[in-house]
Structure 1
Amino acid sequence: MAAEGEERRVYYDGDLEIEAYRLSGIVQKFPNHFHDCYVIGLMIGGRRHLWCRGAEYDLSAGDIVLFNPRDNHCCSPIGGEALDYRAVNIGPQVLSRLLRETGLGAEELCFAKNVLFQSDIAQPLAALYDAVAERAPKMEREEALFFLLEQLIDECAAPRSESGGDERIRLACGYLEEHFAENVALGDLTALTGYGKSYLIRSFTKETGLSPYRYLQTVRLGRAKRFLESGVPPVEAADLAGFADQSHFTNFFKEFTGVTPKQYQRIFCSGVAPSKGDA
C-alpha cells in the first residue's frame, strides 16, 4: 500500500507508443537497475542524490535526467525530501522510427550526459507529459513529442561509442538475456567465459555496473513488463519471467517501478494506473 501523500501515475499513449509517468511524495530509494528504454525525466520538486554509470549528482527542481537503455543508476532522497518527478519512456525501436521521421538525418540517439542542470528542455518535456496525461488531441501530442526530440538531438546527442569492452562479459550478458526464465547459476557463466567465479563477478560488475544476479533480475523485470503489457495475468507473467514466486515478483516489481504488477497492467487497459493504495 502506498504511503500517505504518495502519488504514482503512469500513462501509456498508444498513438505515440510512449509511457509518461509521475511520482510525487515519493521518499523511497530506488536501487541500482537499468531500463531497456530511453528515459527522459524532469525534477519538479524535492532533492535526490543520483548515481549513474560511476558518477554522482545532486538533483533539484528544474534538472533533467537522461538515461540511455542499459544505463545503470540508483537514487535516494536528500534530507528526507519527497520526490516530485515527471518522465517519459521511449523504446529503442520506437525512438529509431521517430528519429527518422524528424528528417534531421538521425536514426540513433545516445545521450552524452545523464544530467542537465536547470535545462531549457524542462519546458518541452513538461508540455509532452501534460499532453499525454490530459489526453490532448493527437496532433498536439505529436507536436510536443517532436519538439522535444529536436531539442534533445540539438543539445544532448553524442556519437554512439563503438568501444568493444570485454567480449566474454558481453557473451555472459547475452546468455542471461536469452536464458532469463531459467535457474541460471554462476557456473553457467564461468563455463561460458572461462573466468573463475570471483573474477567473473568483479569483471561483470565493472563492465555493466550491476552484479550478474542484479543484471538477471533487471532483465526479468523488463520481460515481465512486456508480458503484462500483452495481457498475461501477473501470476503467469511472474512465472514466465523466471521469478521464484508471486510475492517476490510483486515486491521486486514495486521496488523498481513504484507500482505493483496489477497497477502496471491496468495502464494498458484504462490508460492510467491507480494512484493510491490500489494493489
Structure 2
Amino acid sequence: MSRNQEQRHVYYDHDIGIEAYQLSGVVQKFPNHFHDFYVIGFIEGGKRHLWCKGREYDLSAGDLVLFNPRDNHYCSPIGGEPLDYRAVNISPEIMLGAAREITGEDCAPRFAQNVVYQSEAAASVGDVYDAILSDAPKLQKEEAFFCLLEQVLQEYAAPFESPEPPEPDEQIQKLCAYMEHHYAENISLDTLLSMTSFGKTYLLRSFTRQLGVSPYRYLQTIRIDKAKKLLEQGVEPIEAAGRTGFSDQSHFTNFFKSFIGLTPKQYQKIFTDGPSPAVPGEEGAEHED
C-alpha cells in the first residue's frame, strides 16, 4: 500500500469514554514517547520493531501490545512493511473504575508485560473497535469492553500486592514537576541544572536512564498531551500551539503527527464529527490547511 493509501481512523466513544483507532498501510516511525493512558492494541498486519522500557521486540500479526501510563516506547517498520494496527486508549480514571468492577480492588492495575505474542485477546480488541465503529448499542459496547478488560487483567496484569516500579529520585522528580507546570515556557538546560546538584552530562544521562526519555522528549510529550486536551475542548490548533509552547503551527503539526499519527485538526475532528470514517489518503498531509 503506497503512502497516499494510508488510512488512520480514530474515534472517541462517549458511551464508554475511550478512544479506538486503526492504522492501515502506515510506514511511519514513531519516536520515543509515552502516554498518560493505558493502551491495548494488536498488530493486524506488517512487522514492527518495538523498543519499550529498555527491551526490544519484533512484532507481527496477532501480537498484543500493552502499555501502562508513562511506559516509554518507540517503533519502526521491519523491511519497510506497512503497519496494520488496532488499539484502544483507556484513561486511568476509566481503567480504575472498570478494574474495580472486575477485580473488587480499589487500585489501578499495571500490565506485567508489554508484549504478548499471538494472544487470543487480540480478537477482543477488534470486538471493541468494531462495536465503537458501528455505533452499536451502549450495552453491546460495554459488554465488549468489559470482556476485553477481564481477559487482559486476569492474564497479563501484575498482582495487586506486587511492588510498584521504582520512582525516579527526588531531583529528577523535581525536574519533571517543573516541566509539567512550565511546559509553555522556553525551558533551557541551565534552568533545569539550577534545580539540581548535577552537571549537564550527568543530568541528561540520569534523567534518560530513570525516565526512559530525555528531558527534551519528556517536555515535548507533556506539551503534546496538554495540546490534546485543548483540542478536545474545541481550541483552534493555532491557539493550542501557542498555549503549549510550540514556536509555530507548522512545528506543532509536525511534532503532533510524529507522536499521535494524526495532524491536530484530524485529532480534533474525533470529538466534533462523530463516528464517520476518516478519508483514505488525507492522512499523509504533513501540514494543516
Distance (Å, rounded) in 2 between the aligned partners of 1:249 and 1:261: 8
Relative to structure 1, is the Cα distance of residues 239 and 160 closer, same or farther in structure 2, using a 3 angstrom cutoff? farther
Is the CA contact 1:42–1:122 (under 8 Å) kept in the aligned structure 2?
Answer: yes
Structure 2 partner of 1:62: 62
CA contact (8 A) 1:110 1:160 kept: no
- Percentage identity across paired residues of the two chains: 57
1:252 aligns with 2:255: yes
Cα RMSD, aligned residues only: 1.5
CA distance in 1, matches of 2:194, 2:81: 46
Unmatched segments (≥5 aa) in structure 1: none
Report deviation, 1:104.
Answer: 3.3
Compute the displacement of 1:167 (Å): 1.7
**Residue 45 of structure 1, CA deviation:** 0.4
| C-alpha separation in 2, matches of 1:164 and 1:122 | 31
Equivalent runs, 1:154-173 vs 2, <5 Å:
154-158=154-158, 159=162, 161=164, 163-173=166-176
Q: Offset at 1:12?
A: 0.3
1:33 aligns with 2:36: no
Alignment partners' CA distance in 2, 1:148 and 1:206 = 33
Shift of the 109–123 alpha-carbon distance from structure 1 to 2, 3 Å rule, reads: same
- The C-alpha deviation readout for 1:143-163, integer Å capped at 9, x for no partner, is 011111111111111135152
The answer to whether 1:195 aligns with 2:198 is: yes
Distance 1:165 1:256, change over 3 A: closer
> Pick from 274, 279, 282: which aligns with 1:277?
282
> Does the Cα contact within 8 Å between 1:168 and 1:193 map onto a contact in 2?
yes
TM-score (norm 1): 0.96
Give 1:13's aligned residue.
Answer: 13
TM-superposition CA deviations, 1:69-89 (whole Å, max 9, x none): 111111011111110000000
TM-score with structure 2 setting the length: 0.92
- The C-alpha deviation readout for 1:88-108, integer Å capped at 9, x for no partner, is 001111211222233532531
Shift of 1:110: 0.6
Give the distance between the partners of 2:217 and 2:103, measured in 1 at CA.
39
Q: 1:125, CA displacement in angstroms?
A: 1.1
| 3-state SS, counterpart of residue 192 of structure 1 | coil
**Equivalent residue, structure 2, for 1:124:** 124
What are the Cα deviations for residues 23-55 of structure 1, in whole angstroms up to 9, with x where unaligned?
A: 000011111111111111110000000000000
Runs of 4+ residues deviating >4 angstroms: none
1:138 aligns with 2:143: no
Structure 2: unaligned runs, 5 residues or longer: none
In the alignment, does 2:274 pair up with 1:265?
no
Q: Which moved more, 1:59-68 or 1:106-115?
A: 106-115
Secondary structure at 1:217 match in 2: helix
Q: Structure 1: how far apart are the matches of 2:41 and 2:4?
A: 24
**Secondary structure at 2:32's aligned position in 1?**
strand
Amino acid across the alignment from 1:274: A
Task: Read off the aligned partner of 2:262 and give its amino acid letter.
Answer: V
Cα shift at 1:174: 1.2
Q: Secondary structure at the match of 1:271?
A: coil
Which sits farther off after the overlay, 157-166 or 204-213?
A: 157-166
More deviation, 158-167/7-16:
158-167
Count of aligned positions: 278
Correspondence 1:111 to 2:111: yes
